[in-house]
């Protein structure tokens, strides 16, 4: 499966500021995904990042708040803009790989964000 390096692993930020999270994959992948996992909750898909096109956002998430870059097939960034305490969460990037007849998701180690 793919190896994903995600950073920062954690950060404490002031409200109103922005944080950019980076994910580097060890091989080329078509789609990268950004998830959020709030305390005690499951994972919620924020957006799908495709190389060479605009990201596709899920309901409840907008580009102005969560701009995404995907400059090449191995790298993506997610920015959490104009942060508020409600944005405190774990943010995870992931890729999906076809292995034989199966599909599997691999996740980065996550970014634990606390907004104060």
Choose which of 33, 66, 68, 87 interacts with another protein (CB under 8 A): 33
For residues 13 and 31, which CB has a smaller minimum distance to another protein in the complex?
A: 31
Q: Which residues within the stretch 43-82 sit at the binding site for another protein (CB under 8 A)?
A: 43-45, 48, 56
- Considering the complex, state which of residue 20 and residue 106 has its C-beta at the smaller distance from another protein: 106
Site membership for another protein, residue 106 (CB under 8 A)? yes
Is residue 105 a contact point for another protein (CB under 8 A)? yes
Using CA atoms, how far apart are residues 56 and 93, in angstroms rounded to an integer? 14
91 cis-preceded (ω within 30 degrees of 0) = no
Does residue 14 belong to the site contacting another protein (CB under 8 A)? no
For residues 37 and 56, the answer to whether their CB atoms sit within 8 Å is no
Q: How far is the CB of 82 from another protein (least distance, A)?
A: 26
Interface mask (CB under 8 A) for another protein, residues 80-99, using x and -? Answer: ------------x---x---
Interface positions with another protein (CB under 8 A) = 1, 31, 33, 41-45, 48, 56, 92, 96, 102-110, 112
């Amino acid at each position: 499966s793919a190896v994903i390096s995600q950073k920062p692993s954690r950060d404490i930020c002031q409200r109103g500021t922005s944080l950019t999270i980076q994910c580097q994959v060890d091989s080329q992948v078509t789609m990268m995904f950004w998830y959020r996992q709030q305390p005690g909750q499951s994972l919620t898909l924020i957006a799908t990042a495709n190389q060479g096109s605009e990201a596709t956002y899920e309901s409840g998430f907008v580009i102005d708040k969560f701009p995404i870059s995907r400059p090449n097939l191995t790298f993506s960034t997610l920015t959490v803009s104009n942060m508020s305490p409600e944005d405190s969460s774990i943010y995870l990037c992931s890729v999906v790989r076809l292995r034989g007849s199966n599909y599997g998701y691999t996740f980065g180690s996550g970014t634990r964000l606390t907004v104060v």
